[in-house]
Structure 1
Amino acid sequence: MSMPKRIPVDFGETFPYGLFAVSEVVMARDFEKSTKTNAVQTMDDAHGLPVWTVDVMDGDPEARKADRTFTIKILSEKQPVLPPALPGLPFTPVELDGLTAAPWVDTRTCSAPDEGRSHRCRARQGWSFRCIGVRAPKNMPGAGSATTQKAA
C-alpha cells in the first residue's frame, strides 16, 4: 500500500476553533533559484501553480505556544486576497479550501550530546499545510461577499 504524500483533510475537523490570518499573502520565494536582486517564486511541482504563503494562528485555546502560529502555503495562479477584517478584531478569520496536510519530523529541538551527557532529542510530529483557496468563514457576518481565490 502506498500512502499519499499530501493527505486531504477537512478544515473544520483540523481547525475546530478557527484560523486567523496574521500576515498578508506574499509569494513563496524559491531560495535555490532566487538571487539577492531577483526573487523567483516557488512553483508547486505536482500542479505547476505558483505558491503563496500566509502566516496564521490556530484559535485552539489549548494549542502549545510553539504550535499556535505557522505558515500556510496557497496554490493559486493569482495572488489570493484575504477577506476583509472584521471591525475590532486584530486578525482576519479565514477558512481554507482544498486543504491538505503532509507530516514531517521537527528536529529543531534536538541537540548533539555534550561531553558526559547523552543525546537529547525532543523531536515531534509537525504538519505542513497547503490549500487552493482562502475565504471568510461561512458563519461570519458578510461572509457571502468575500472574494475567494481558488486554483484551477
Structure 2
Amino acid sequence: MALAKRFPIAHAMVFPNGAFLRGYVEPVADFNGEKRADGSRPQQRDKETGLPLWQCTVIDADDDANRKDIGVSVKFAAEVQPVPPKNTSPLPWTPVEFTGLTALPWIDDSGPRPRLSWSFRASGMVAPGQDRTDAKPPTAKAAA
C-alpha cells in the first residue's frame, strides 16, 4: 500500500469551523529519557528528523465535535519554539491555521471501549487567511 503512516491533510478538513490556540506552545517532555539532575525531563525529539518536539492545545470550533475531540493537541518538530500569530480577536484564545498539517490515526484503548483517535503534526501556524507560502517544513538532521 502506498499510503504512509502519517499523511498530509488540509487544515480546513480537520478544523472546518476554525481552531483556537489555548495556552502556549510548550516542549514535549521525553518520559523515556533519563531525568536530569534537577528532576526535570529532557525534551522529546522527532524520530525522523531529530528535531525537538513542541506541542500546543487547540480548541476545535466545530459544534458537532464530541467532548473528547474539542481539545486537540498539535505537535511541531522544530529547532526553535514555534511562535503563534498575534491575537487580534476579542477572544481569550488565538485563532490559528496550521501549515504543513499531517495526521496519524491510532487506537485509544484507555476508556471502556477502544476508539479511533488522531495525532496531528504541523510545520507552522499562521493567522487565519494569512499567506501560508512562507511556512517552512522541518529540515532533516544531517547524518554524522
Q: Taking structure 1 as the reference length, what is the TM-score of the superposition?
A: 0.81
Shift of 1:42: 0.8
Hey, what does 2:9 align to over in structure 1?
9
Hey, what does 1:81 align to over in structure 2?
83
Shift of 1:86: 2.1
Q: Taking structure 2 as the reference length, what is the TM-score of the superposition?
A: 0.85
Change (3 A) 1:34 1:94: farther
- Is 1:70 aligned to 2:72, yes or no? yes
Give yes or no for contact 2:123–2:135 (8 Å, CA) kept in 1.
no
Gaps of 5+ in 2: 140-144
Shift of 1:49: 1.2
Change (3 A) 1:150 1:80: farther
2:27 aligned partner, one-letter code: M
Map 1:1-152 → 2, pairs under 5 A:
1-35=1-35, 37-110=39-112, 122-138=113-129, 143=130, 151-152=138-139
Shift of 1:149: 7.2
Q: Deviations over 1:74-117 (max 9, x none)?
A: 1111101111112421110111111110000111212xxxxxxx
3-state SS, counterpart of residue 69 of structure 2: helix
**Sequence identity (%):** 37
1:100 aligned partner, one-letter code: T
Pair member with larger Rg:
1
RMSD between superposed Cα atoms in Å: 1.9
Change (3 A) 1:60 1:50: same
In structure 1, what is the Cα distance between the partners aligned to 2:8 and 2:119? 12
Give yes or no for contact 1:81–1:148 (8 Å, CA) kept in 2.
no
In structure 2, what is the Cα distance between the partners aligned to 1:53 and 1:34? 21
Give yes or no for contact 2:99–2:135 (8 Å, CA) kept in 1.
no
In structure 1, what is the Cα distance between the partners aligned to 2:50 and 2:32? 17
Gaps of 5+ in 1: 111-121
Give yes or no for contact 1:27–1:53 (8 Å, CA) kept in 2.
yes
Change (3 A) 1:37 1:8: same
3-state SS, counterpart of residue 63 of structure 1: coil
